């Protein structure tokens, strides 16, 4: 079992203190489940199960920002300051086998060059506008947030919901759902389901009305034809 340092001053940190209780636990969960250099391979379903409640991981990632979590090309998350806090400066000429292990692990993840070039002042790999390559990663992340609802909603509804909200802007650097001021997957899906049901009900009413109109028209036509037949018969009897 890995033992790690923890910063008890985080409870006074403005960013951490403003997180919801659920998101505070999500942050602590990642710190406990990442590897030795701060890389976490997301398993959102397992995380939700172990935490005992559902986290909106897209919202959580946005709250963390690029200064705290880096989205890697393989969809893993890297806690950028993890190594700095746990080990301090990692020197390549160190004779410590533990230090060499951490450096090798960073190199394996493709993070060591970023780590050694990062200045003391916070810096991110992202510009103010997301890059096209990053959108694909965020799209996969968005898809993962929908998986817990597959049993609750029909699969086709989930697919249509995803296709609609993952539509890209003209620049191709943002998805439709990212342009919303507020976003909760569970509530958005509930609204989507209600709109679907309302549409089905309205179509049913229109169909029933159309069928009723057709029936009335048929009955009127039958009465006209019957009246016409009676008049014809009456005229024929008069001629006799």
Number of domains in the chain: 1
Within a domain: residue 12? yes
Question: Is residue 58 included in any domain, yes or no?
Answer: yes
Quote the pLDDT of residue 210.
Answer: 52
Looking at residue 232, what is its pLDDT? Answer: 61
Other CB atoms within 10 Å distance of the CB of residue 100: 14
CB 23 within 8 A of CB 55: yes
Q: Is residue 171 part of a domain?
A: no
pTM: 0.52
Position 199 in a domain: no
Query: 41 lies in a domain?
Result: yes
Residue 128's pLDDT is what?
39
Per-residue confidence band for 240, with pLDDT thresholds at 50, 70 and 90: low
Own/partner long-range contacts of 148-151 (Cβ < 8 Å, ≥24 apart) = 148/44, 148/45, 148/48, 148/54, 149/185, 149/186, 149/189
What CA–CA distance (Å, rounded) separates 72 from 138?
10
Token couple for 54: 């559902």
Mean pLDDT of the chain: 80
pLDDT of res. 236: 54
Q: How many whole angstroms separate alpha carbon 16 and alpha carbon 13?
A: 5
Long-range contacts from 39-45, C-beta under 8 angstroms, 24+ separation: 39/72, 39/76, 39/77, 39/78, 39/79, 39/109, 39/111, 40/76, 40/77, 40/78, 40/79, 41/75, 41/76, 42/75, 42/76, 42/77, 42/141, 42/144, 44/144, 44/145, 44/147, 44/148, 45/147, 45/148
Q: Strand 39-40 relative to strand 69-71: parallel, antiparallel, unpaired? A: unpaired
Q: Does the pLDDT at position 228 exceed 60?
A: yes
More confident residue, 168 or 130: 168
Angle at 222 between CA 217 and CA 225, to 5 degrees: 125
Domain ranges, residue 99:
1-126
pLDDT at 142: 86
- Given CA atoms 225, 230, 233, 234 in this order, what sign does their dihedral have? negative
Statement: residue 153 has pLDDT above 70? yes
State the pLDDT confidence band at 114, using cuts at 50, 70 and 90: low
> What is the band of 49 on the pLDDT scale with cuts at 50, 70, 90?
very high
- pLDDT value of residue 125: 36
Residue 29 has a pLDDT of 95
What are the pLDDT digits (tens) for 168-192?
988 888 899 988 888 888 999 999 9
Question: pLDDT digits over 68-104, tens only?
Answer: 898 888 889 999 888 888 888 888 888 888 888 888 8
Reported as a single tens digit per residue, the pLDDT across 7-37 is: 888 898 899 999 999 999 999 999 999 998 8
- 195 or 89, higher pLDDT: 195
Tokens of 36: 């030795």
220, part of any domain: no
């Amino acid at each position: 079992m890995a033992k790690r340092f923890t910063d008890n001053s985080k409870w006074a940190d403005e960013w951490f203190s403003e997180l919801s209780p659920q998101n505070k636990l999500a942050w602590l969960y990642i710190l406990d489940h990442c590897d030795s250099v701060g890389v976490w391979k997301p398993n959102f379903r397992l995380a939700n199960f172990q935490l005992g409640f559902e986290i909106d991981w897209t919202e959580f990632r946005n709250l963390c920002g690029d200064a705290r979590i880096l989205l890697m090309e393989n969809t893993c998350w890297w806690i950028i300051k993890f190594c700095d806090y746990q080990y301090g400066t990692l020197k390549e000429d160190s004779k410590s086998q533990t230090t060499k292990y951490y450096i090798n692990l960073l190199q394996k993840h493709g993070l060591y060059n970023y780590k050694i070039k990062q200045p003391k002042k916070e810096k991110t790999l992202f510009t103010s506008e997301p890059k096209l390559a990053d959108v694909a990663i965020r799209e996969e992340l968005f898809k993962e947030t929908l998986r817990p609802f597959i049993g609750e909603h029909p699969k086709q509804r989930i697919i249509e919901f995803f296709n609609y909200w993952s539509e890209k802007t003209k620049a191709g650097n943002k998805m439709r759902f990212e342009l919303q001021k507020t976003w909760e997957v569970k509530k958005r899906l509930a609204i989507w389901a209600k709109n679907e049901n309302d549409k089905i009900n309205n179509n049913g009413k229109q169909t029933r009305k159309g069928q009723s109109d057709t029936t009335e028209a048929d009955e009127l036509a039958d009465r006209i034809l019957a009246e016409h037949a009676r008049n014809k018969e009456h005229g024929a009897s008069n001629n006799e």
